Amino acid sequence: MSTVTKQQNITVEEYLNGELISDTKHELVNGQVYAMTGASKNHERISLNILSEFKYHLKNSPCEPFGSDIKIKVRDNFYYPDALVDCSVDETTPYYTKTPVIAVEVISKSTRKIDEQIKRMEYINIPTLVEYVIIEQDYVDVAVFRKSDQWRPTHYFLGDEIHFESIGLTLAVEEIYSRVNNEDMNEYTAKKQAKQQN
């Protein structure tokens, strides 16, 4: 989701109160509020795919997946990831968490800078975070930044499997991009169908 400046220099309390009554989601970064715009169908497909896999895998676990309506708090900043998992849910903060173990962002051209640079540098300073995942929607590329690898990215493509250390889940890249309409997936699906017919 792309963001645009909405208002400047508000307090955390003003921001949180405003989010409760606003029809539009906003992120708070260094006192500035950014309005979140709508997402594409491919963005939603990817988000739902990975959230569904997380939910099924964690159904008997104390760890709980959340979608894009739950914020992550880093210092006095608040961000909306596309998916996250929290293993120590604090019910006293029902609209945000400070303890995610994994955060996922589906990026586009308009959000690339904030997701790859600003959010990444913020997220990796969260003590509980084990992995930060950036998923491209216009082509197939999943970058996983792991604490165990000094936050260096590992890239995954069609035919690869990703092991999410934070929740013990191994997932094929193909599953993350199920039903996604981009050139990489269309070509991959066509080749797979042709192979099955032979």
- Predicted local distance difference test score (pLDDT) of residue 2: 40
Q: Is the dihedral of CA 140, 146, 148, 152 positive or negative?
A: positive
- Predicted local distance difference test score (pLDDT) of residue 1: 43
Q: Does the pLDDT of residue 147 top 60, yes or no?
A: yes
- Domains of the chain: residue spans and CATH: 39-197 (3.90.1570.10)
pLDDT digits (tens, 9 = 90+) for 62-93: 999 999 999 999 999 999 999 999 999 889 99
Q: Given pLDDT bands bounded at 50, 70 and 90, which one contains residue 7? A: low
Q: Which residues of 144-165 are buried (b: 16+ CB within 10 A; e: fewer)?
A: bbbbeeeeeeeebebeeebebb
Q: Does the pLDDT of residue 197 top 90, yes or no?
A: no
- Predicted local distance difference test score (pLDDT) of residue 42: 97
Dist. CA 151–CA 143, nearest whole Å: 11
Mean pLDDT calculated for residue range 4-25: 84
pLDDT digits (tens, 9 = 90+) for 93-139: 999 999 999 999 999 887 787 788 889 999 999 999 999 999 999 99
- Predicted local distance difference test score (pLDDT) of residue 3: 53
Contact 127, 75 (CB under 8 A): no
* Better-scored residue on pLDDT, 181 or 193: 181
Burial class (CB in 10 A: 0-12, 13-18, 19+), 170: exposed
- Predicted local distance difference test score (pLDDT) of residue 34: 87
Mean pLDDT calculated for residue range 17-33: 91
Q: Is the dihedral of CA 174, 175, 180, 181 positive or negative?
A: positive
